[in-house]
Structure 1
Amino acid sequence: MRKPLPLLTSHPGGRSAMTCRYRCGDACFHEVPNTSGNEYVGEVIARALSRRSVLRAGAVVGAATAIGPGLTGPGAAPAAAAPADTTGATAAGAARKGRGKPAKGLRFSPVEPNTTDAVTVPEGYGQNVVIRWGEPILRGAPDFDPARQTAKAQAGQFGYNNDFLTLLPLRSERGRQLLVANHEYTNEELMFAGYDPKKPTREQAEIAWAAHGLSVVAVQEERRTGALRPVPRHALNRRITATTPFEFTGPAAGSALLRTSADPRGRRVLGTLNNCAGGTTPWGTVLSGEENFNQYFANAEKVTDADRAATLKRYGVVGGASQRRWEDFDDRFDLVKEPNEVHRFGWVIEVDPYDPDSTPRKHTALGRFKHEAAQPRLTRDGRAVVYMGDDERFDYFYKFVSKKAMRRGTSADVRRHNLSLLDEGTLYVARLSGDSPRDQIDGGGTLPEDGEFDGTGRWIPLASGDRSFVKGMTAEEVYVFTRLAADKAGATKMDRPEDIEPSPRTGRVYVALTNNTDRGKDGKAAPDEANPRNANKHGQVLEFAERGDDPASLRFTWRLFLVCGDPEDPATYFGGFPKDQVSPISCPDNVTFDAYGNLWISTDGNALGSHDGLFGVATSGPRRGEVRQFLTVPAGAETCGPLVQERRVLVAVQHPGESDGASVENPASAWPDGPGKYVRPAVVAAWPKDGSSVGR
């Protein structure tokens, strides 16, 4: 019998205040950036509001609100007529569930919710730490020594707070793969003994710059287990940091909005910041989303231009000194001295891990917002479609459809062509409507009379090339101020859209909506069928199907696959599966799929009293909706970057020990190396000890 779970209510989503401070700049304690009047509608005549949108010499767009839904764009389609596939979702089907074996790939003994300061995996599984913060990966980099750490050393070592993970093949090297990991942010209080947040040193700032970004490192598989070990000094190993040169590509490259004193052409930028989830392209590159970039920029309160101040506020750029005070050491982080530098972050980046000398790209055609993810799929004619979430309360989810098709082959010409796919295409934002009367959405999570939260949706075009579909905004403005464009287009306000991934087996797309404790508050958006709970602490997972199974379609049907929380809470839903047979899950964040089509979900900020974890859930068949917990992470940690291969599961254990009051001198965790050692973010692999496949 599952024990009741205590609820954590002291902080939004169950995070520590320290995590909120360093990861997102206390976003939950600031005013919600989206103050637009967007209604949750399918086909209504929206009321046009008269706010201005002005491009000025420093590049500013005024605060914007909703216009009518009469926006038209290429390939407009008639309304979808039917909801998404309902396999296993009927009441009769639910009555038959719970019998027999779990779905293939999920046949393990679920881990119980716990607060153990360790990575806990199912019985019969082994695990190892693949690589930790500070381990050397480049030639000449020293072993990790926190007492003698330098920026030069960190630039050759594995970065901090690993998030997104992918493994790419090294076909000419037996038993080896290429691991790519994001490094989202730094927590200086856990990195530096005696750290003074009011007076950081230049060396500490430069170490933090070097700890951001991405790591590319070859890993070797142990023959008799599923363990992986890093291969130091491999020719493809690489560090990308906050000072690595990038190039802008796409329609906004060279825009006046991107020009600075260091880059008067607006085409090259130093570094990438706050890299969260990402994706692996069919042409062999890695995409990564720049998320909470707003927190790195200082002195928004000193901006006097009203239009510019409103634009900054829409992106959550507020206040005086930044948390890390990087502006003390580099003027580009001071909004008064370099007003456009902030526009150079918040993009999807692309890295070619097979070419360590290549220049990474920032793709302006995919828009600028707090990117959580970017996982491509291909249309039938080979064009790339990228789904993206904007991780903010009441913000939106998007897709991009490329103009050109991918080419097959390995020649240099083919590689150059494929690396340009995300430079041309159309950017869209989602508008959803429900199919139940409003009075059946009561804010308490009660299912409407038809037994599901579901409905239809439209993809609203925002821009394509140098053409804008948003009244009053140029194409450049749309790309750089995408949030404002989506406000004007009347997009649907969601509960923090994070990772979005299409199933490689069914084509259905899954959106992790982590939580939104402001839903339903006075002056904020009311609950709707896609976001049905007031003060939403636990989040939900939305599933949608493009019309005709065509990723380029402008219509889709959707439903909530999971409404997360304690299964004993009536306001939860697990795809119709019996709630007494599922693992409790709260705050879904990153998602991935296994070879059987099961969805794997990692959590961020579990509000049910347990540590965060990784969960597998069947998406079709008689076990659809059966959530099974595979692991939990240590004290203070978040589960990130899940990757499920046939023989192993990888997770990124991010910010272990990140608890209020913790420091190097007063650690809140002893993971991964035991008492007396630094607490270090790390990548972990888990595998069946008997050599079988995961979940078989």
Structure 2
Amino acid sequence: MTLQPLSLFVKHDGTSSRSHLTCQYRCGDACSQPVPNTSGNQYFRDVARVALNRRTVLRRGALAVLTASAGGSLLSLGAGSAAAQPGSIDVGSGDFLLDLVPPPPGLDFEAVAPNNRDALVVPSGYSSGVIIRWGDPVMPGAPDFDFGNQTVAAQEKQFGYNNDFAALLPIAGALNEYLLVVSHEYTTEPAMFFGYDEDEPTEDQVRIAWAAHGLSVVKVQSRPSGGALVPVMSNLNRRITATSEFRLTGPAAGSPLVRTTADPTGTLVRGTLNNCAGGVTPWGTILSGEENFNQYFGNGDGVTAEPARTQLRRYGITGETSNRRWENFDPRFDVTRELNEPNRFGYIVEIDPWDPASIPLKHTAMGRFKHEGATIYVTGDGTVVSYMGDDERFDYIYKFVSSKKIMPGDGAASMRHNMTILDEGTLYVARFQGNSPATEIDGSGRLPADEKFDGSGEWLPLLRAEGAGATSFVEGFSAEEVAVFTRLAADKVGATKMDRPEDVEANPKTGKVYAALTNNTRRGTGGYPRADEANPRHTNKNGHVLELEDDHAGTTFAWNILLVCGDPATADSYFGGFDKSRVSPISCPDNVAFDPFGNLWIATDGNALGTNDGLFSVVLDGPRRGETKQFLTVPVGAETCGPIVTEERVIVCVQHPGESDNYTAETPASHWPDGGTSQPRPAVVAVWKS
């Protein structure tokens, strides 16, 4: 049959703008499923402490010292006092002293107003253009896209579906030429094919979907003027799909836990799935997180023997048939036939974009969970630290600290060495402690007496990988089991249950770490954990952003909440102490990025305030700390992903435009980006100063 009538869809009762269709195909409808983390671990250890409130005193002192701007960038529009332009929002002018302080370099633009337009809306004075869209040619011989006549052979050479992470790598010695690397998180089959039958998809439709997953590597060139980028054919261009070969590395490689009929060695995996956010390594490779891989596997309820049943359920592999019915065409997606196949997904993937013949890696030393992504910070002595979030309600924040040091240089020897760095080191999970009495954290989002949500934390060791060996720090778990069943190991040591931790990234200017916690509407409901100081709001539909001052290679950190997202007019929102009458509303933070000046940028997913998602800038230091401004909005039904912010341009991935609960290929809810009566197509766009 075709898609179920709208009346049968699970309702989101106003807590998110994300459609059920998006939930169904992006994450296997996780928001309506039981929470996989049923552990009884101590999810928060509160430390009562009375603290002096220095925030107001410090802020008033900073306002009295007016500093000059360090100069404008191509992100700057000029004088901050310019009149609001069409499509902009006036964020207020009530604080005279603050008005005399210029915005930080790169942030002097006029905020875009919240809207529901089927368009990419950018500030006055800026232009935008599509770089590449689903179905555009990537490989030589790729045909032009034909929505009604798709083929497997064509999609394997064309840009994939639902672009998420993006990286722009300059090509050495080539002026204005780059490699654009983009992940393709998932496919929405009802929007991809006319007459799609979700109960009986055709084999061609399934195989086209396999080819539309993975990653694309494509060379792009800049225009003579402006910030537009144009794809070009190159011997570096590449498509990686759900059937490409990957090599397992680290403590789980070769383990009986990852061996299958097709791979009795447990070292070679076919494909990568649900590639969400990622990162760029200092040695020039790309990291990509395998996130909601569980949804691709069917017949989870058919496994009743323990411990396999518990292991599958902890990763959300339940039910009978999978949503896409891939098991109908490949037995590896049926867990009753290949129990270990899911154990080969859920890792951080590393790709060398400079060598199209190279085999990508899956790093098991970095743990297996629903990786939003992984980002890199290098300490002064060359230690590589990677931060990661597990995108699930009540799951955890992790970091990996290498035991190897980075080798400088761009030669073959340094590349070989550096691509082994993430196989040796220690994997940690975070535990947070609050500074306020528990009685002051009531779930309302109201600030405690010291007027800030803050505290300390510790990194709990789970696993150390060393050369050919590995050590478990978790009682009852072998090193291989920690690497493959990382969630269960983290449950055992008592990590803090968080509100969907997604992107976690260190600011390259300051070293402070920022974590986006998208939302968790089950916080404080039923028998679920109540609010704590690191997750201070019940039924948290708008999310929040943490700021950590981490001892990067050590085991302790201090933390505070930078943003409690939501409507600035409501009492349960907080913007770093900044005047809430002067900020843009923001909801459901997902990805974080930094511009060359060290400003924070946040992409949102699932705006619960009733308007389109977008990209926001946030001031991190000085009297404007917490000032949040919307830079752009994406089209109706779309999500903002993969932000890149440079002095020349801003790049975002526009994912699933038009997705709504009555959306099919026959009834498109958007015509972006091509307009007219065209089908909507996920695309990567650039924005630049006109």
TM over 0.5: yes
**What is the CA-CA distance between 1:396 and the residue it aligns to?**
0.2
Aligned to 2:40: 37
- Residue 451 of structure 1 aligns with which residue? 451
1:586-665 equivalent positions in 2, closer than 5 A: 586-665=587-666
TM-score scaled by length of structure 1: 0.90
Letter in 2 for 1:31: P
Cα offset, 1:12, TM superposition: 4.3
- Separation in 1, partners of 2:637, 2:676: 16
Measure the CA separation in 1 of the matches of 2:442 and 2:42: 17
Per-residue Cα deviation, 1:160-191 (whole angstroms, up to 9, x for no partner): 00000110011222211110000000000111
Query: 1: distance between equivalents of 2:347 and 2:269?
Result: 12
The counterpart of 2:471, out of the listed 467, 477, 486, is 467
Q: Retained in 1: the 8 A contact 2:53–2:450? A: no
Report if the CA contact (8 A) 2:396-2:497 is conserved. Answer: yes
Tell me the amino acid that sits aligned with residue 510 of structure 1.
Answer: Y
Structure 1 partner of 2:133: 132
Q: 1:409 — aligned with what?
A: 409
Q: Counterpart of 1:515? A: 519
> Does the 8 A contact of 2:16 with 2:609 survive in 1?
no
Alpha-carbon distance between aligned partners in 2 of 1:297 and 1:382, rounded to the nearest angstrom: 40
Residue 268 of structure 2 aligns with which residue? Answer: 268
State whether residues 291 and 346 of structure 1, in contact with CA within 8 Å, keep that contact through their aligned partners in structure 2. Answer: yes
Residue number in structure 2 paired with 1:284: 284
1:557-596 counterparts in 2 under 5 A?
A: 557-596=558-597
CA distance in structure 2 between the aligned counterparts of 1:278 and 1:85, rounded to whole angstroms: 37
Alpha-carbon distance in structure 2 between the residues aligned to 1:530 and 1:688: 38
Distance 1:9 1:443 in 2: 21
**Matches of 1:394 and 1:87 in 2, distance apart?**
33
Please show how residues 139-154 of structure 1 align to structure 2 within 5 Å. 139-154=140-155
How far apart are 1:82 and its partner, in Å?
11
Post-superposition Cα deviations, 1:552-608, rounded to whole Å, max 9, x if no partner, equal 010000000000000001111101110000000000001100011110000000001
Partner-residue secondary structure (3-state), 2:312:
helix
- Report what 2:21 is aligned to: 18
Aligned to 1:327: 327
Instruction: Find the aligned partners of 2:212 and 2:464 in 1 and give their Cα distance.
Output: 36
Paired AA for residue 544 in structure 1 = L
Q: Which residue of 1 aligns with 2:31?
A: 28
Instruction: Decide whether the 8 Å contact of 2:46 with 2:437 is kept in 1.
Output: no
Q: Given that residues 589 and 603 in structure 1 are in contact (C-alpha distance below 8 angstroms), is that contact kept between their aligned partners in structure 2?
A: yes
Q: Aligned equivalents of 1:352 and 1:186: distance in 2? A: 24
Alignment RMSD: 1.9
Instruction: Note if contact 1:611-1:634 (Cα within 8 Å) is conserved in structure 2.
Output: yes
Matched residue of 1:279: which SS? strand
Deviations 1:314-342 (A, max 9, x none): 10111011110000000000000100000
Report what 1:486 is aligned to: 490
Structure 2 residue aligned with 1:161 = 162
Q: 1:88 and 1:203, CA in 2 relative to 1: closer, same or farther beyond 3 A?
A: farther
Cα deviation, 1:414-473, whole Å, max 9, x if unaligned, reads 110011100110000000000000000010001000110000000000010210000010
Alignment of structure 1 residues 652-691 onto 2, 5 Å: 652-689=653-690
Q: Please tell me whether the aligned partners of residues 434 and 454 of structure 1 are also in contact (alpha carbons under 8 angstroms).
A: yes
Paired amino acid for 1:672: P
CA distance in 2, matches of 1:270, 1:565: 41
Q: How do residues 389-404 of structure 1 correspond to structure 2 at under 5 angstroms?
A: 389-404=389-404
The aligned runs of 1:300-379 (5 Å cut-off) are 300-379=300-379
Paired with 1:84 and 1:23, the residues of 2 have a C-alpha distance of: 43
The structural deviation recorded for 1:614 is 0.3
Deviation at 1:306, TM superposition (A): 3.1
Q: 2: distance between equivalents of 1:176 and 1:675?
A: 32
Aligned in 2, Cα 1:16/1:99: closer, same or farther, shift over 3 Å? farther
* Local SS of the residue matching 1:109: coil
Q: Residues 644, 83 of structure 1: CA spacing in aligned structure 2 closer, same or farther, 3 A cutoff?
A: farther
Which range moved further: 12-21 or 513-522? 12-21
Task: Report the Cα offset of residue 487 of structure 1.
Answer: 0.2
Which amino acid in structure 1 is aligned with residue 566 of structure 2? Answer: G
Whether the 8 Å contact between 1:83 and 1:557 is mirrored in structure 2 is no
CA distance in 2, matches of 1:214, 1:86: 45
Query: Where has structure 1 moved over 4 Å in runs of 4 or more?
Result: 81-99
CA shift for structure 1 position 383: 1.5
Tell me, what secondary structure is at the counterpart of 1:14? coil
1:251 and 1:11 map into 2 onto residues whose CA distance is 44
Alpha carbons 1:618, 1:627 under 8 Å: kept: yes
State the match for 1:173 in structure 2.
Answer: 174
- What number of residue pairs does the alignment pair up? 643
Provide the rounded CA distance (Å) in 2 between the counterparts of 1:36 and 1:478.
Answer: 16
Q: Are 1:513 and 1:589, in contact at CA under 8 Å, matched by a contact in 2?
A: yes
Corresponding residue for 1:536? 540
For the Cα contact (< 8 Å) 1:638–1:654, is it kept in 2? yes
Check 1:537–1:307 CA distance in 2 against 1; reply closer, same or farther (3 A cut).
same
CA 17–435 in structure 1, closer or farther in 2 if over 3 Å, else same: same
Select between 274-283 and 96-105 the one with higher mean Cα deviation: 96-105
Aligned residue type for 1:401: V
Question: What displacement does 1:83 show?
Answer: 12
Deviations 1:633-664 (CA, angstroms, capped at 9, x unpaired): 00110000000011100000000011111111
Contact 1:87 1:620 survives alignment (8 Å): no
Give the deviation of 1:621 after TM superposition: 1.5
Amino acid at match of 1:462: L
Q: How big is the shift at 1:679?
A: 0.8
- 1:332 is paired with a residue whose SS is helix
Q: Contact 2:276 / 2:291 at 8 angstroms: preserved in 1?
A: yes
Consecutive unaligned residues in structure 2, runs of 5 or more? 1-10, 64-94
Change (3 A) 1:85 1:405: farther
Paired residues of 2:130 and 2:686 also in contact (CA < 8 A): yes
User: Which amino acid in the other structure matches residue 361 of structure 1?
Assistant: L
Residues 670 and 679 in structure 2, CA contact (< 8 A), matched pair in contact too = no
Call closer, same or farther: CA 1:453–1:33 in 2, change over 3 Å.
same
User: Where does residue 244 of structure 1 map in the other structure?
Assistant: 244
Deviation of 1:43 (Å): 8.4
Could you tell me which runs of 5 or more consecutive residues in structure 1 were left unpaired when the two chains were aligned: 1-7, 45-80, 690-696
- Structure 1 distance, partners of 2:500, 2:20, is 18
Matching residue of 2:6: none
CA drift of 1:99 comes to 4.4
The within-5 A match list for 1:174-213 is 174-213=175-214
The letter for the 2-side match of 1:252 is A
Using structure 2 for the length normalisation, give the TM-score.
Answer: 0.91
CA contact (8 A) 1:365 1:479 kept: yes
Return the alpha-carbon distance in structure 1 between the equivalents of residues 471 and 15 of structure 2.
40
Residue 432 of structure 1 aligns to which amino acid in structure 2?
F
Amino acid in the other structure paired with 1:23: R
Deviation of the 1:413 alpha carbon: 1.4
Q: Secondary structure at the match of 1:13?
A: coil
The percent of aligned pairs where both chains have the same amino acid is: 60
